[in-house]
Structure 1
Amino acid sequence: MSSSNLRDLQRDLENKANDLSKIQKDIAKNHQMRKKYTIQLGENELVLKELDLLKEDANVYKLIGPVLVKQDLAEANANVRKRIEYISAELKRLDATVQDLDEKQNSKKDTILKLQQRIQSIQSGKGKA
């Protein structure tokens, strides 16, 4: 095999390694988002539990900027439930995305391993790749 073919293989290996690195960054970013949403979900579930303890005539306030604004208990309850629903949907979406990224990562790793073996085989003088 000629040295130009070897250079092509090495360039291909470098490109695949860059692709793998990008996938790994996407996975890390996904995990950060998931962590953020998991914390928000816990906070909102705690708020919902607190709202469920209140009597119907209880005063409920919502912090909007620097101001506390009075809010209807039923409206507050509905808003928190909707937020929990949204966050849960986002977590499911992130789970599906990370599963897809994991599959891509494993596929890239396999491809890189095969390319490395092929290059080593050529460099060791066997050349029967």
Structure 2
Amino acid sequence: MAEQIQKKLQGELEKYQQLQKDLSRSVTARQKLEAQLTENNIVKEELELLDATNTIFKLMGPVLVKQEMEEAKTTVGKRLDYITGEMWQALRAADAGAGATLGAAARDAGAAAAGAAAGAGEGLNILGYP
């Protein structure tokens, strides 16, 4: 009986550790997207300060290529839309995945804890304390 409870708790611990890894990856991805969003917002603001007499260059590999003002503004706008969409998609996926997984993990952990509490009356020691 104690072995079953210990195996169950070990399984729940592994699920929890996997959730922590997933959360860490999600946070890193979100930080990267936020940095890209900030950078592109700055570029957009800088483009708005320019007039038709200014020359815009785009870095393509090791080469600077001349670019039209409207093309640059359109490109930055599309990039902002894309990054914002990616952020919302990641947020929705994290909310859906974390909610379902955390809910199941909490339910399972609660059941395991209830079983452990019931077993404690029978003299079982699942925590390793004397």
Asked whether the two chains share a fold, i.e. TM above 0.5, the reply is yes
Shift of 1:126: 7.3
Q: Which residue of 1 aligns with 2:110?
A: 113
Give the 5 Å matches for 1:67-106.
67-103=63-99, 104-106=101-103
Report percent identity of matched pairs: 27
Equivalent of 2:54, from 30, 50, 58? 58
Deviations 1:51-106 (A, max 9, x none): 11111232100112222111111111111000000000011011112212331224
Equivalent of 1:37, from 33, 37, 53? 33
When the two chains are superposed, the root-mean-square deviation of aligned CA atoms in Å is 1.9
Aligned residue type for 2:63 = V
Q: Secondary structure at the match of 1:55?
A: coil
Question: Unaligned regions of 5+ residues in structure 2, if any?
Answer: 125-130
Alignment: residue pair count: 123
Aligned residue type for 2:72 = A
Aligned equivalents of 1:24, 1:124: Cα separation in 2 = 33
Question: Unaligned regions of 5+ residues in structure 1, if any?
Answer: none
Q: Secondary structure at the match of 1:125?
A: coil
Aligned equivalents of 1:42, 1:68: Cα separation in 2 = 23
